[in-house]
Homo-oligomer: A and B are copies of this chain.
Amino acid sequence: MIEIYGDGQSGNCWKVRQILDFTARPYRWQEVNVLARETRTPAFLALNPNGKVPIVRLDDGTVLTESGAILCHFAEGTPWLPERGLPRTRVLEWLFFEQYSHEPNVAVARYWIHYLNAKDEYADRLPARWEGGYKALDVMERRLGEHEWLTDAGPTVADVALYAYTHVAGEGGFTLEGYPGVRAWLGRFAGLQHYGGLK
């Protein structure tokens, strides 16, 4: 059976669980506590030298890393990832946007505030994350104010990836008040069959 090594509070790890639920594949969840430095043990580093969750172990022992790559791996051949050409490229654009422009701001602010419970300690570094996070949300709103999903292909792994930290952005000190398109999209996503959120 597919094994996910993940931290139950991590949006990156939730993405993997969610695409396996959407594509109706059974899996076993192996909890890895990031705060307890369980991603730094020799045993874990042997699985992923980059020391990050999520990772996935397949039946034959193959280990997959990087949530964006794992999403594509399991979505291949399903409606969650267009087969090729521009529709596929549009999905990849959002996946890279998420990892470069959204996650390092929205997820990191949440990590400091909600996960480490250290808002005061990071008080001088939070404003830059909020600014970057709102810029990323602006980009999403431009699209979602006028469209149902992030790409024209219907719900895809692009939506899974961006949903991960957007639906818990409040835990990072963000408000989605000025983002009606994003809020409506969050509602549509939560209505999908086999949906299960992070909270």
State whether A92 touches B104 (Cβ < 8 A): no
- Interface hits, A103-148 → B, CB 8 Å: 103-104, 135-136, 138-139, 142
Cβ-based interface call for A99 (8 A)? yes
Q: Please report the total number of A residues contacting B with Cβ < 8 Å.
A: 35
Query: Which residues of chain B are near A38, meaning CB under 8 Å?
Result: none
Query: Which of A86, A89, A104, A139 has the most B CB atoms < 10 Å from its CB?
Result: A89
State whether A73 touches B89 (Cβ < 8 A): yes
State whether A142 touches B49 (Cβ < 8 A): yes
Q: How many copies does the complex hold?
A: 2
State whether A89 touches B68 (Cβ < 8 A): no
State whether A97 touches B139 (Cβ < 8 A): no
| In the complex, residue of chain B having the shortest beta-carbon distance to the beta carbon of A74 | B89
Query: Which residues of chain B are near A104, meaning CB under 8 Å?
Result: 100, 104
The 10 tightest CB contacts between A and B, nearest first, are A69-B92, A66-B96, A69-B93, A68-B96, A73-B89, A66-B93, A99-B100, A49-B139, A50-B139, A49-B142
Give chain A's interface residues, CB within 8 Å of chain B. Answer: 49-50, 52, 62, 64-70, 72-73, 76-77, 84-86, 88-89, 92-93, 95-97, 99-101, 103-104, 135-136, 138-139, 142
